[in-house]
Structure 1
């Protein structure tokens, strides 16, 4: 979190930096409830606080902590370990939007940026057929054959321009890439990428919902190559603040914070408490939601909260179980959004143990379904190492769409088994013979929504039902419009703007 001067800067920023966001004039709402205190719910509450039209915001979080999957362990010796996202990208409108928020919260001095020239940005690896392979980069990497690929990638790119546009309104990522760039790229690179980003199976995930720029490039330009050169369609307009401008000037690839990414939700919650508009309630699980003449009655275990409007940042299935039976079509659509469970194992080793330097490596499902990838945390963010003595921090990610078949039910798998599987992977993949000096095992149940083919139609159907029935309800968070931190934050901003007519 920000230092002692952070509160003053945050207060000043609240009056100035984002005052342009909401300017329309409608009847002020007495109370808005935000369900869920993860980054989606906190970001939504942050944007609600920017509007003079909102009198009161009540945040209801079922657990004892705020921040959701943005979760950092900070040891007393200075070491920081991330259990969820560890780096946030500054690129695009959504990336600029998050940096604007970071600046407004007074966190600029806490940033740890990585530029595109950094070894962690340049070197990313695939583990295929028992070996580490550096992903091709630069012109030379495109022109020559680089294992594990059997031909230069430039050949695939060149032929892609001649591939006809699909008439389907959606298809799997694997199908899309196989059709346009060849099966080898789909089987190895894209399969690995989808496991790293979504912990999911590219043969089921929707290209339209998971990678909109690829889908739009084909639809609008007829080619991925032309889409990259000419643009693949309109994007949201987000004015760059000084921090976002700096990220562009210095060519940032991603960034973290000195005390870990959990500093972001912590700073938002500090801001909300200081606003005078917001009530933050932990251990406040929503039991059911009932319509009332003024909006909603939200039943908790120990009472009832009334609200004019609800922003739900709950997981889709959690919201479905709380809605009244009159919302059955919406309930069914929410229940159809699948999620996956990921085991995250943080490891610390004495000394420098890596045979290569880079961000980390991913595995295609054909190599080892159980292992999604290994992040070399000490390379991008050595500032998170302990202050005394050289160490190497790693994170092993396992399971995802393959969790059940590889490990069984999440509630049955032991930490010992997951730790052994993770340390074995480090030994086999990286040639590390020593044992970790510290470890922490986390099982994140149902942590990443899966956007299967047709996801966009499901989301459109849900929002159409809400609009048609004039429900005072907005859907935000990772279940609908993108799973990245930037996407989730921007979904909160977009929903608030739509409600207030900004």
Structure 2
């Protein structure tokens, strides 16, 4: 290794770890020697594709992104030369999204959302008092219900089942929707606050997004980076609970300000383990059918189900509707997500049966008999099941404060360790890429 070359170890070769490795190579070149460590037999983390019969495939994890909120992903795709491999969605179908409410699918749009929330609840939001300063955090559901009523709380519950596979009554509004709490804290209400930002402070709004609560971890990371010169850097892109196991087996020789190093390590480990994770079963079907085997009025991206509906699945993705060019025209792909613990403990056959019953109830599609409500016959080409154990972190109330405290402990006692990945400040692929890129930029700045 050349004298001026510094070593960077990246733990985990999922999207976050791979992104960090790529940007280090691009930004630092021969100035850094990268070691990428991965326990699994393949890279990619939860993003895995399994080829299937009928010239189609089954996606085990994240499978698409929207250009509007996926600019980091789109940028990286172009940088690695994969822009010609992008598969474009059918715009009309991608925009058609449903929520299962009151026993039926409801297409979501501005009018239906306002109807669900209630005009009076939107008008009265201006007069709802802000929460007291003593209430540092609250759940997404509690925030939405307090300011807008149960209608919006229910819609957000459905949306968060698709993002977190979690419960809006437990997820932190400060961690999940930091802009909402910022608007209430600053303006006293959400709607007028948003209007003020859009009309009078557009430039400041952009800056606020870049320095808001979701970026606090990076502000701390910038302080660490000053101490990284002439030291090996470790970037952990592992789930928090995996990093906790590694730290527990490690030894911290010195503690800041005379603190007991063992006590510091225990505190870090406990904070990491306090981040809960949800598990999800992904059940996919490849069906041979001359046309889509459910009503045209229900065709679209898919649907989500709030916990209040008491259904057995979290939601369904209508993949062949959204991406009609991803498989032959006579193949329908549909995927169900299951999150209930009692089902996740069952066999693959049990999970398939749960998904089949849900599709029959929600879409009139009976896979077992090959019949559908619209009279289109279907034949099963393939069925695939994967259970992603502890795959999505849950940003429960107090998450932002706990992560900030963890970052501060590491800054003082293990400044060579940086945190990336989805456990801390964003569960999406785009968030993972963004955090990794910004960590590398800090590294480059302080190694110059």
Is the 8 Å Cα contact of residues 158 and 306 (structure 2) preserved in structure 1?
yes
Find out whether 1:378 has 2:320 as its counterpart: yes
* Structure 1 residues 437-456: aligned runs within 5 Å: 437-456=381-400
Return the offset for 1:311. 0.3
Q: Give a deviation string over 1:341-386, Cα, whole Å, max 9, x none.
A: 100001122222122211111111122253100111111111222x
Distance 1:154 1:110, change over 3 A: farther
Helix, strand or coil at the partner of 1:204: coil
Counterpart of 1:182 (choices 145, 149, 162) is: 149
Is the 8 Å Cα contact of residues 81 and 384 (structure 1) preserved in structure 2?
no
- Separation of aligned partners in 2, 1:86 and 1:142: 26
Find out whether 1:44 has 2:10 as its counterpart: no
Q: Give a deviation string over 1:41-83, Cα, whole Å, max 9, x none.
A: 0011111112337421000000001001111223364313222
Is the 8 Å Cα contact of residues 119 and 357 (structure 1) preserved in structure 2?
no
Counterpart of 1:129 (choices 97, 102, 107) is: 102
* Structure 1 residues 410-425: aligned runs within 5 Å: 410=344, 412-425=345-358
Find out whether 1:362 has 2:304 as its counterpart: yes
Q: Give a deviation string over 1:180-205, Cα, whole Å, max 9, x none.
A: 1102321x211111111100011110
Q: Give a deviation string over 1:254-291, Cα, whole Å, max 9, x none.
A: xxxxxxxxxxxxxxxxxxxxxxxxxxxxxxxxxxxxxx
Structure 2: give runs of 5+ residues left out of the alignment. 199-204, 212-227, 253-264, 369-379
- Separation of aligned partners in 2, 1:350 and 1:75: 13
- Separation of aligned partners in 1, 2:41 and 2:113: 49
Find out whether 1:235 has 2:214 as its counterpart: no
Counterpart of 1:220 (choices 186, 209, 214) is: 186
Return the offset for 1:114. 3.9
Q: Give a deviation string over 1:384-419, Cα, whole Å, max 9, x none.
A: 22x3x51211110001xxx32x32xx5x42000000
- Separation of aligned partners in 2, 1:161 and 1:176: 14
Distance 1:333 1:234, change over 3 A: same
- Separation of aligned partners in 2, 1:60 and 1:87: 26
Q: Pick the structure with more helix per residue.
A: 2
Find out whether 1:106 has 2:30 as its counterpart: no
* Structure 1 residues 428-467: aligned runs within 5 Å: 428-435=361-368, 436-467=380-411
Partner of 1:246: none
Distance 1:227 1:58, change over 3 A: farther
Partner of 1:78: 55
- Separation of aligned partners in 1, 2:338 and 2:166: 11
Is the 8 Å Cα contact of residues 53 and 381 (structure 2) preserved in structure 1?
no
- Separation of aligned partners in 2, 1:220 and 1:87: 35
Q: TM-score, normalised by structure 1?
A: 0.72
Is the 8 Å Cα contact of residues 142 and 154 (structure 1) preserved in structure 2?
no
Counterpart of 1:315 (choices 229, 239, 259) is: 239
Partner of 1:57: 34
- Range with greater deviation from structure 2 (215-224 or 59-68): 215-224
Find out whether 1:343 has 2:281 as its counterpart: yes
- Separation of aligned partners in 2, 1:217 and 1:111: 36
Structure 1: give runs of 5+ residues left out of the alignment. 1-26, 238-294, 296-306
Is the 8 Å Cα contact of residues 370 and 398 (structure 1) preserved in structure 2?
yes
Q: TM-score, normalised by structure 2?
A: 0.81
Is the 8 Å Cα contact of residues 44 and 492 (structure 1) preserved in structure 2?
yes
- Size of the alignment, in residue pairs? 387
- Range with greater deviation from structure 2 (154-163 or 41-50): 154-163
Q: Give a deviation string over 1:422-445, Cα, whole Å, max 9, x none.
A: 011111111112333321011000
Counterpart of 1:90 (choices 58, 67, 71) is: 67
* Structure 1 residues 376-415: aligned runs within 5 Å: 376-385=318-327, 387=328, 389-399=329-339, 403-404=340-341, 406-407=342-343, 410=344, 412-415=345-348
* Structure 1 residues 167-316: aligned runs within 5 Å: 167=133, 168-186=135-153, 188-229=154-195, 230-231=197-198, 234-236=208-210, 308-316=232-240
